[in-house]
Amino acid sequence: MTEPADATPGGVYSSKGKAYTRDTRYLTTRIMRSVAPGEDAVLVEPGRFRLIAARACPWANRAIIDRRLLGLEDALSIGFPGPTHDADSWTFDLDPGGVDPVLGIHKLKDAYLRRDPDYPRGITVPAIVDTTTGAVVTNDFAQITLDMSTQWVEYHRPGAPDLYPLAQREEMDQVMRYIYTEINNGVYRAGFAGTQEAYNAAYDRLFTALDWAEERLSGRRFLMGGAITEADVRLFTTLVRFDAVYHGHFKTNRTKLTEMPALWAYARDLFQTPGFGDTVDFEQIKQHYYIVHRDLNPLQIVPQGPDLSGWLSEHGRDALGGAPFGAGTPPEPVRPEERAPHSILTC
């Protein structure tokens, strides 16, 4: 995500003397298997849409992971903006000439303006763009990944996991809402607090939630039981950034992830599972937060640490049973053109 003009980078409104509020007004057009008359939706069509998802962004990282796990590479192309951007837009700095090879644009903002020439809000990722018009269809990050599971079913790979199992949805929705408000958003609430009081409250609220997750994961391999679901994808993208960025940059420093035994083992279990760690680029993550957030880091110095070798260490979570993909199978190796440039994985 990025920001409107009156917000700090990351889509988070913040000013001195105020607690933070996230702008949650998104383009909510859906891409669906079938569309009823008058519904704000377009039909799924393989090859027509392009997912724009920066590796640096935790919200976009969710969509990158789901696309990998479900095997949607042939149905939904992907473009990767660079990790840094100005106040105007995410940009395609990693592509030759700084231009997305499919959309033919340098700034993602151009696709938003194709949708609405007077678009007033932040230029956020992930976004799905209609390649036939060049316009953004949706940037509703939470719905994008749920629709990947439920609306793109005909294009899932054989053996794709069920990331949003019908029998668990009621509990899952509650778990995911809690993870979003208290953990995913909680780190930002602390990092962009405008007063000491707001920071203290955000800090306490975040670690209350992390303690809940630590307890929940002490007796089960994944959040919903023995197999990976969308809930795990959503928690993972915050955990994988915790020690590298949030612990220091956002002052969420009661404990490191490496000091929370169940969460650290759980995060390593996911990281070493195909589809998770192979989407992560720690270098881009650090560059984004430490360079773009000039209000928090005015000199834009990017720390060299932390040591990342622990992510590849034995996690021991197999002892809890279950199978990451349930009755399914792991995805194929990452395609060469989609590999994270600074991945710490060798496969």
Amino acid at 64: I
Active site residue 57: yes
Which residues does 312 contact at the CB level (< 8 Å), separation at least 6? 268, 272, 344, 345
Name the H helices within 73-185. 109-115, 141-150, 169-178
Give CA separation, 182 vs 122, 176, 233, 309, in Å: 22, 10, 16, 28
Q: Which two tokens stand for residue 43?
A: 């039909």
Of 20, 26, 188, 203, catalytic: 188
**How far is Cα of residue 298 from the mean position of the Cα atoms in its chain?**
25
The residue type found at 280 is V
Cβ-contact 52, 64 below 8 angstroms: no
DSSP type of residue 181:
I
Side chain identity at residue 87, one-letter code: A
> Could you confirm whether 347 is annotated as catalytic?
no
Number of residues written out for the chain: 347
Rounded to 5°, the CA angle 70-260-290 comes to: 70
> How many other CB atoms are there within 10 angstroms of residue 36's CB atom?
7
* b/e code 159-172 from CB counts within 10 Å (16+ = b): ebbbbbbeebeeeb
Annotated binding site: which residue ranges? 90
Q: Which of 13, 26, 57, 246 is catalytic?
A: 57
Pairing status of strand 41-43 against strand 30-32? parallel
Amino acid at the residue 184:
N
Q: Residue ranges for the binding site for glutathione?
A: 90
DSSP assigned state of 152 = S
Burial class (CB in 10 A: 0-12, 13-18, 19+), 306: middle
The number of C-alpha atoms within 13 Å of 250 and in the hemisphere containing its C-beta is 30
Contacts of 28 (CB under 8 A, 6+ apart): 40, 138, 140, 143
Residues marked as catalytic: 57, 188
